[in-house]
Amino acid sequence: MNLISIVDVKDKLDNIFELSAKLKNEAKRGIFNPELKNKTLAMIFEKASTRTRVSFEVAMTQLGGHAIYLAPRDTQLQRGESIKDTAITLSKYVDGIMIRAYRHENVLELGKYSTVPVINGLTDLEHPCQVISDLFTIKEHKGFDARLAYVGDGNNVCNSLILGCAMTGMTLSVGCPEGYTPDKKIVETAAEFSDKITIHNNAVDAVKAADIVYTDVWISMGQDAEKEKRIEVFKEFQVNSTLLENANNPLIMHCLPAKRGFEITDEILDSENSIVFEQAENRLYVQKALLCMLL
Ligand code: CP
Ligand code: NVA
């Protein structure tokens, strides 16, 4: 089984949350069971990463297995070996492949030819591991009756959040500038599961009565050439104290890395309501659960 879109684990979310909670509780008590002894995860990173790389690698170590970091420039992928041949070969050695890539289609291609599970560690379209973990964090703090608002770019994180909220029945209100709204197909898929997802073109409408406000960078990896334009387009979408007066004293979420002073102010990111570093911590436990389930 692959985890390429968050929809791939639609029927398994409850099990994942349950196992994540168990693994978190055990880790806090210093208990680490070698569930993945002798198992190896290959990790291909076309883009930079701090949280995803380290949490997956630590997860494999704590589960008694091993992770191999592969930068495409160090593999034959960079010299033009096909994704298909890479998938078939890696499947002979390892028990799972995690990949962070630019093109979502490339991850689907890897999943098609790999005989071991393929896990999406972020593409330009989705960031499922992030959002599964974020839903776990939301469940711990408020439960799925809370009203979530996402403000900013309708990007990979936003797309997975839309699907994740639709799958859990959460009310989600998205605020993005025109031309930067989430993927149309994803919004249509979400609408098949839920009628509680709304998309707005301004931030104030999106955060109205929200219990949780989530944001992400305005300039995602690979978009540096659009930097000046994006800063101009998104300036009304900053999560700051004035915007949050419209919300319900909300918890603050951000997948990180944050560009402080752009999509979010220091004041809000460092506020008592901010749970961003718990979000980051939970990546470890939730990925352990995903690895146990998939590998
Ligand atoms: N949130 C997240 O995926 O962070 P990294 O880019 O550091 O992995
Ligand atoms: N939207 C961001 C998420 C980083 C985890 C990016 O793609 O760069």
Residue with tokens 């972020």: 122
Q: Looking at the predicted structure, is the pLDDT value of residue 236 above 90? A: yes
Q: Among the atoms of ligand 1, which is closest to the Cα of residue 48?
A: 6
Which residue is closest in CA terms to ligand 2's atom 8?
Answer: 220
* Averaged pLDDT score across all residues of the chain: 98
- Mean pLDDT calculated for residue range 2-12: 98
Q: Is 218 helix (H, G, I), strand (E, B) or coil?
A: coil
Instruction: State if residue 91 touches ligand 2 by the CB under 6 angstroms criterion.
Output: no
Residue 77: the pLDDT is 94
User: Cα dist. 6→2, 11, 190, 235, 290 in Å?
Assistant: 10, 10, 11, 30, 12
What is the percent of the chain with per-residue pLDDT over 90, rounded to a whole number? 99
- Mean pLDDT calculated for residue range 206-220: 98
Mutate to test the pocket of ligand 2, among 104, 151, 220, 230 (most ligand atoms within 8 A of CB): 220
CATH superfamily entry for domain 130-279? Aspartate/ornithine carbamoyltransferase (3.40.50.1370)
Which residue is closest in CA terms to ligand 2's atom 6?
Answer: 220
Mutate to test the pocket of ligand 2, among 103, 125, 127, 234 (most ligand atoms within 8 A of CB): 127
Which ligand is the nearest neighbour of the Cα of 45?
1
Instruction: State if residue 94 touches ligand 2 by the CB under 6 angstroms criterion.
Output: no
What is the percent of the chain with per-residue pLDDT over 70, rounded to a whole number? 100
Task: Give pLDDT tens digits for 148-191.
Answer: 999 999 999 999 999 999 999 999 999 999 999 999 999 999 99
Query: Are the folds of 6-127+283-294 and 130-279 the same?
Result: yes
User: Which tokens hold the place of 286?
Assistant: 């939730």
Q: What is the set of active-site residues? A: 100, 127, 130, 216, 255, 283
CA of 243 to the centre of ligand 1 (A): 26
- Mean pLDDT calculated for residue range 260-266: 98
Residue 73: the pLDDT is 85
Q: How far apart are CA 85 and CA 83, in angstroms?
A: 6
Domain boundaries, the chain: 6-127+283-294, 130-279
The pTM assigned to this predicted structure is 0.98
CATH classification of 6-127+283-294, choosing from 3.40.50.300, 1.20.1080.10, 3.10.310.10, 3.40.50.1370? 3.40.50.1370
Please name the helix (run of DSSP H) or strand (run of DSSP E) that holds residue 289, with its range, or none. Answer: helix 276-294
Residue 72: the pLDDT is 83
Q: State the CB neighbour count (10 A cutoff) for residue 165.
A: 26
Q: Label each residue of 48-115 as H, E or C.
A: CCCHHHHHHHHHHHHCCCEEEEECHHHCCCCCCCCHHHHHHHHHHHCCEEEEECCCHHHHHHHHHHCC
- Mean pLDDT calculated for residue range 24-46: 98
Residue 265: the pLDDT is 98
Q: Looking at the predicted structure, is the pLDDT value of residue 245 above 90? A: yes
Instruction: State if residue 255 touches ligand 2 by the CB under 6 angstroms criterion.
Output: yes
Q: How far apart are CA 140 and CA 17, in angstroms?
A: 10
Instruction: State if residue 220 touches ligand 2 by the CB under 6 angstroms criterion.
Output: yes
Angle between helices 276-294 and 128-141 (to 10 degrees): 120
Q: Looking at the predicted structure, is the pLDDT value of residue 222 above 90? A: yes
- Mean pLDDT calculated for residue range 259-284: 98
Q: How far apart are CA 134 and CA 156, in angstroms?
A: 14
